[in-house]
Structure 1
Amino acid sequence: MTLTSKLRAGIASAAIALFAAPALADDVKIVASFSILGDMVEQVAGDFADVTTIVGPDADAHVYSPSVADARAVAEADIIFVNGMGFETWSDTLIAESGTEASVHVATVGITPVLVDDETDPHAWNSLLNGVIYVQNITAVLSEAVPAHATDFAANAEAYIAELTALDAQTREKLGALPAGKSTVVTAHDAFGYLADAYGLNFVAPIGIDTEAEPSAQELAALIEGLKEQGASALFVENITSPALVQQISEETGLKIGGRLFSDALSERGGPATSYLAMFQHNLGAIVTALEAAGES
Structure 2
Amino acid sequence: MSRLAPWLAPLGLLISISLVACQDSSTRDSSQSESLKVVVSTTILTDLTQRIGGDAITVTGLLQPGDDPHVYEPVPRDTVALAGANLIILNGYNLEPKIEKLATSVDSQAAILRAGEAIAPLKLGRAPDPHVWGNARNGILMVQAIQQKLCQLQPSDCPQFQANAQALSQDLTRLNTWILQQIATIPESQRQLVTTHDAFQYYSQAYQLPVLGTLIGISTEEQPSARTVQTLAKVIRETGVPVIFTETTTNSSLLETVADEADVRLSRQPLYADAIGPAGSKADSYIKMLVTNTQTIVDELGGKTTSFQAD
TM-score (norm 1): 0.88
> Partners in 1 of 2:95 and 2:168 — Cα distance?
24
Shift of 1:146: 0.7
Match for residue 280 of structure 2? Answer: 270
> Partners in 2 of 1:148 and 1:213 — Cα distance?
46
Equivalent position to 1:280, from 285, 290, 309: 290
Match for residue 211 of structure 1? Answer: 220
1:190-235: CA deviations, max 9, x gaps? Answer: 1000000101112221110100001111111111112112232431
Letter matched to residue 170 of structure 1? W
Question: Which of the pair is proportionally richer in strand?
Answer: 1
Give the 3-state SS of the residue equivalent to 1:288 in structure 2.
helix
> Partners in 2 of 1:74 and 1:22 — Cα distance?
21
> Any gaps of 5 or more consecutive residues in structure 1?
1-20
1:160-197: CA deviations, max 9, x gaps? Answer: 11111101101111112322222111111110000001
Equivalent position to 2:237, from 225, 228, 252: 228
TM-score (norm 2): 0.84
Match for residue 167 of structure 1? Answer: 175
Checking the alignment, whether the CA contact within 8 Å between 1:72 and 1:98 is kept in structure 2 is no
Equivalent position to 1:131, from 139, 144, 163: 139
> Any gaps of 5 or more consecutive residues in structure 2?
1-28, 305-311
1:138-164: CA deviations, max 9, x gaps? Answer: 000001111111000000011111111
> Partners in 1 of 2:263 and 2:242 — Cα distance?
11
Equivalent position to 2:66, from 58, 66, 84: 58
Equivalent position to 1:38, from 38, 46, 50: 46
Checking the alignment, whether the CA contact within 8 Å between 2:233 and 2:258 is kept in structure 1 is yes
Task: Please provide the CA RMSD for this pair.
Answer: 1.8
Checking the alignment, whether the CA contact within 8 Å between 1:234 and 1:287 is kept in structure 2 is no
2:247 is the counterpart of 1:238:
yes
Checking the alignment, whether the CA contact within 8 Å between 1:116 and 1:193 is kept in structure 2 is no
1:110-134: CA deviations, max 9, x gaps? Answer: 3121122342110000000000000
> Partners in 1 of 2:149 and 2:278 — Cα distance?
28
1:76-101: CA deviations, max 9, x gaps? Answer: 10101111111111133212332011
Letter matched to residue 31 of structure 1? V
> Partners in 1 of 2:164 and 2:223 — Cα distance?
41
Checking the alignment, whether the CA contact within 8 Å between 1:228 and 1:253 is kept in structure 2 is yes
Checking the alignment, whether the CA contact within 8 Å between 1:82 and 1:105 is kept in structure 2 is yes
Checking the alignment, whether the CA contact within 8 Å between 2:277 and 2:283 is kept in structure 1 is yes
Letter matched to residue 293 of structure 2? N
Q: Which entry has the higher C-alpha Rg, 1 or 2?
A: 2
Letter matched to residue 260 of structure 2? E
> Partners in 2 of 1:257 and 1:165 — Cα distance?
31
> Partners in 1 of 2:254 and 2:30 — Cα distance?
50
Letter matched to residue 37 of structure 1? L
The alignment covers a number of residue pairs equal to 274
CA distance change for structure 1 residues 23 and 85 in 2, over 3 Å: closer, same or farther?
farther
